[in-house]
């Protein structure tokens, strides 16, 4: 049995992760935490997630429950995830990291820790999005430099990072396929007298509204035709199911940095 720790247990993803974890054979919830001062500290994690009591109370100190888990699934916030990364590295625990919004320096810290522990790190754990990443590589290679490429993403009003981690990964896949560097060819939103479009750029547009779970469209637009690759998530359970699958997978792997393509065998 692989024992899972879920920080951010009362969050949008935390509740779905607890649900997915207790439904998955071979996994059990070993620990759950929330930020110090959170109103649900001391509550049963299963009750908070709506799946009935699991006998695991939400704590505020991960170090205190370090002997109760083998794999930590982290969907919180960059600074919080990095504190957990340090703890997991010191105690030899595997990690699944779904948090987005890391800086380049913060991503380097995750890469460094993967010398000592096994980590699955992906901005989107859904099978559909990871399939789309494959399709995007093919589309970019076929359509090449003859199209304008725009990436449009929409998420709920509470999301704090933009563009989404998924949109950025989609941009990286397309840029790599075309031999471009996303750092120099990305254009984030447009306003005013922008001039005509430069075909070598990759544009990003962000929508934040209501309760949208997560939608991504990549447009390859030529004169006379347009190809769009679209993914729409209608439930967070699609991310949670992927994350618990990754947790089962990573517990059997030696140190290293992996992504969902490794987990799914894509
Ligand atoms: N990779 C993927 O498939 C997906 C990634 N995400 C990412 O996951 C992250 C979280 O998203 P949501 O669940 O929507 O956010 P949320 O804000 O609902 O949940 C985060 C939770 O972390 C808790 N937290 C803060 N500090 C903490 C601490 N020190 N210890 C323990 N818990 C702490 C917060 O109180 C909150 O409950 C975001 O970065 C989001 O972009 C979200 C969905 C899918
Ligand atoms: O914050 C979210 O909700 C999501 N974040 C991820 C991202 O930034 O790509 C994945 C998903 O789209 C939901």
Catalytic site positions: 155, 159
User: Which helix or strand (DSSP H or E) is residue 220 part of?
Assistant: strand 214-221
Kindly state whether residues 153 and 137 are assigned to the same domain. Answer: yes
Kindly state whether residues 153 and 212 are assigned to the same domain. Answer: yes
Domain count, the chain: 2
Cis bond upstream, residue 163 (ω within 30): yes
Kindly state whether residues 137 and 189 are assigned to the same domain. Answer: yes
Kindly state whether residues 112 and 240 are assigned to the same domain. Answer: yes
For the stretch 233-264, what's the b/e string if a residue is b when 16 or more beta carbons lie within 10 angstroms of its beta carbon? beebbbbbbbbbbbbbbbbeeeeebbbbebbb
Q: 């990964």: which residue's tokens?
A: 169
Alpha carbon nearest to ligand 2 atom 4, residue: 214
Kindly state whether residues 150 and 94 are assigned to the same domain. Answer: no
Assign residue 18 the CATH number of its domain.
Answer: 3.40.50.720
| pLDDT tens profile 186-208 | 999 999 999 999 999 999 999 99
pTM of this structure: 0.98
Kindly state whether residues 6 and 115 are assigned to the same domain. Answer: yes
| pLDDT tens profile 83-126 | 999 999 999 999 999 999 999 999 999 999 999 999 999 999 99
Distance CA 266, CA 122 (A): 14
Ligand 1-lining residues (CB < 6 angstroms):
7-8, 10-14, 33-35, 38, 75-77, 80, 98-101, 122-125, 165, 239
Instruction: Indicate the annotated binding residues for NADP(+).
Output: 35
Q: Domain range holding 146? A: 127-233
Kindly state whether residues 185 and 257 are assigned to the same domain. Answer: no
Kindly state whether residues 44 and 57 are assigned to the same domain. Answer: yes
Kindly state whether residues 94 and 11 are assigned to the same domain. Answer: yes
Using CB atoms within 10 A of its CB, is residue 217 exposed (0-12), middle (13-18) or buried (19+)?
A: middle
Query: What is the model's pLDDT at position 252?
Result: 86
- pLDDT confidence tier of residue 144, bands split at 50, 70 and 90: confident
Distance CA 210, CA 192 (A): 27
Distance CA 104, CA 141 (A): 26
Kindly state whether residues 48 and 144 are assigned to the same domain. Answer: no
Which atom of ligand 1 sits closest to the CA of residue 10? Answer: 37
Kindly state whether residues 61 and 131 are assigned to the same domain. Answer: no
């Amino acid at each position: 049995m692989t024992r899972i720790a879920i920080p951010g247990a009362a969050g949008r993803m935390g509740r779905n992760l607890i649900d997915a974890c207790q439904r998955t054979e071979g996994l059990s919830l070993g620990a759950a935490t929330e930020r110090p001062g959170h109103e649900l500290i001391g509550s049963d994690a299963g009750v908070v997630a709506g799946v009935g009591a699991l006998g695991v109370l939400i704590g505020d100190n991960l170090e205190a429950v370090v002997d109760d888990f083998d794999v930590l699934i982290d969907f919180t916030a960059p600074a919080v995830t990095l504190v957990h990364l340090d703890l997991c590295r010191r105690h030899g625990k595997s990690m699944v990291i779904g948090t987005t919004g890391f800086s380049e320096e913060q991503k380097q810290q995750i890469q460094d820790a993967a010398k000592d522990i096994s980590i699955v790190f992906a901005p989107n754990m859904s099978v559909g999005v990871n399939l789309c990443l494959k399709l995007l590589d093919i589309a970019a290679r076929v359509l090449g430099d003859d199209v304008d490429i725009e990436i449009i993403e929409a998420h709920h009003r509470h999301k704090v990072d933009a563009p989404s981690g998924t949109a950025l990964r989609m941009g990286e896949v397309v840029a790599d396929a075309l031999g471009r560097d996303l750092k120099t060819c990305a254009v984030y939103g447009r306003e005013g007298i922008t001039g005509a479009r430069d075909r070598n750029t990759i544009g990003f547009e962000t929508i934040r509204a209501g309760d949208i779970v997560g939608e991504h469209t990549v447009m390859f637009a030529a004169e006379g035709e347009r190809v769009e690759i679209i993914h729409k998530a209608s439930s967070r359970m699609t991310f949670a199911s992927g994350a618990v699958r990754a947790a089962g997978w990573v517990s059997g792997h030696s140190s290293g940095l992996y992504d969902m393509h490794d987990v799914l065998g894509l």
